[in-house]
């Protein structure tokens, strides 16, 4: 009997306390903002619209390795590789179907060149779904994005325009196979 009375009391006071707390919120600063007039702050690592960046020398970073497309859980990235006359790989086609993209960021994680990056822009709504298909021209920006210093071809061993064998970071001069010296 005594327990029942105690229970009734604590339940009632909890309800009253909750009502009180809710009421007190009307005096707090608002979290909701008047979007779109007012924009929220989103940290640089927010996972929104995907871009393709350039290396510090201004060339396309993407080497069309297809690692982003294979990491993508919804398979919404399609990359077709081609080469320039110096043997440098780059994408002939780079297409993202944003109507499928779930902004998981796996592509950015997988990318060995820091080419593909998610940005804090989320305003991608369209009336026509077809418009959510982005081609390379829609994706490629002119800057380095979040990774200022990195240039994949300066590290890789392939020779490309402007960089021959032995000229990458930490590379020795090409071996002279005709020498008999040890």
Partner 1 sequence: MATITIDGKEFDVDDTENLLAVALSKGFDLPYFCWHPELHSVGACRQCAVKSYRNDEDDKGMLVMACMTPCSDGGRFEIDDEEAAEMRRQVIEWLMTNHPHDCPVCEEGGECHLQDMTLMAGHTQRRYRGPKRTHKNQDLGPFINHEMNRCIACYRCVRYYRDYADGDDLRALGSHNNVYFGRESDGAFDNEFSGNLVEVCPTGVFTDKTLGAHYNRKWDMQNAPGICNHCSLGCNTSPGSRQGVLKRIQNRYHGEINHYFLCDRGRFGAGFVNRDDRPRQPLVRNADGVLEPREMDVMRDTMEEVFAQANGVVGVGSPRASLEDNFALRHLVGADNFTNGMAPADSAASVAARDAIAANADRLATLREVESCDAVLILGEDVTQTAPRLALSLRQSRRNKHLEHAAANKIPKWHARAVRDIGQYNNSPIFSATTSATRLDDIVMTPQRLRPAAIAELGFAVAHALDNTAPKVEQLDADTQALVDAIAETLKGAKKPLIVAGTSLGDPAILKAAANATKALAAANEATRLFVTLAEANSLGMAMMEERDIDHALTAVEDGSADTLVVMQNCLYERAPKARVDAVIKKAKNVVVLDHSMTRTVGEATHVLPSGSFAESDGTLVNNEGRAQRFFQLFIPDAPMQEGWRWAADLAEVAGNKPEWLGMDDLIKTIVADCPQFAGIEDAAPSQSFRKFGMRFPRSPHRFSGRTAMYANVDVRERRPEVDPDSPLAYSMEGYYGEQQPPSTIAYAWSPGWDSNQAAITRFQDEVGGHLKGGDPGIRLFAAPGAAAEFWAAEVTAVDGWQAVPVYHIFGSESQSARAPAIAERMPKPEYRVNAEAAKALGVTAGDSFELAVNGETHAFPLAIDPSLPDRTIGVPVGMHGVCGLRLPVEVKP
Cα–Cα distance measured from residue 17 to residue 9, given in angstroms and rounded to the nearest whole number = 12
Q: Which does 97 bind (CB under 5 to 8 A by kind): ligand SF4, partner 1, none?
A: partner 1
Judged by CB under 8 A, does residue 75 bind partner 1? yes
- Kindly state the smallest distance separating residue 81's Cβ from ligand SF4, in Å: 8
- For partner 1, the closer of residues 88 and 145 by Cβ is 88
| Closest to partner 1 by CB, 111 or 144 | 111
Query: CB–CB of 61/104 below 8 Å?
Result: no
Judged by CB, which is closer to ligand SF4: 36, or 149?
Answer: 149
Report the alpha-carbon distance of residue 89 to residue 153 in Å, rounded.
Answer: 10
Cβ-Cβ contacts under 8 Å for 72 (sequence gap 6 or more)? 101, 106, 107
Other Cβ atoms within 10 Å of 146 Cβ, number:
13
Residues 6+ away with beta carbon under 8 Å from 66 = 79, 81
Site for partner 1 contains 152 (CB under 8 A): yes
Question: Does 111 sit near ligand SF4 (CB under 6 A)?
Answer: yes
Q: Which does 165 bind (CB under 5 to 8 A by kind): ligand SF4, partner 1, none?
A: partner 1
Identify which of residues 62 and 144 has a Cβ nearer to partner 1 in the complex. Answer: 62
Q: Is 76 annotated as a binding residue?
A: no
């Amino acid at each position: 009997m005594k327990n029942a009375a105690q229970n009734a009391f604590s339940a009632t006071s909890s309800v009253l306390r909750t009502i009180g707390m809710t009421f007190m919120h009307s005096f707090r600063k608002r979290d909701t903002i008047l979007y779109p007039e007012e924009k929220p702050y989103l940290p640089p690592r927010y996972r929104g619209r995907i871009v393709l960046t350039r290396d510090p020398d201004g060339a396309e970073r993407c080497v069309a390795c297809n690692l982003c497309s294979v990491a993508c859980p919804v398979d919404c990235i399609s990359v077709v590789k081609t080469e320039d006359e110096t043997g440098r790989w780059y994408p002939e086609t780079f297409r993202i179907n944003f109507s499928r993209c779930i902004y998981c960021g796996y592509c950015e994680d997988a990318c060995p060149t820091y080419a593909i990056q998610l940005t804090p822009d989320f305003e991608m709504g369209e009336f026509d779904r077809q418009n959510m298909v982005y081609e390379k021209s829609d994706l490629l920006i002119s800057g380095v994005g979040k990774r200022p210093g990195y240039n994949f071809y300066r590290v890789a061993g392939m020779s490309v325009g402007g960089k021959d064998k032995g000229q990458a970071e930490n590379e020795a001069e090409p071996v002279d196979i005709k020498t008999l010296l040890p």
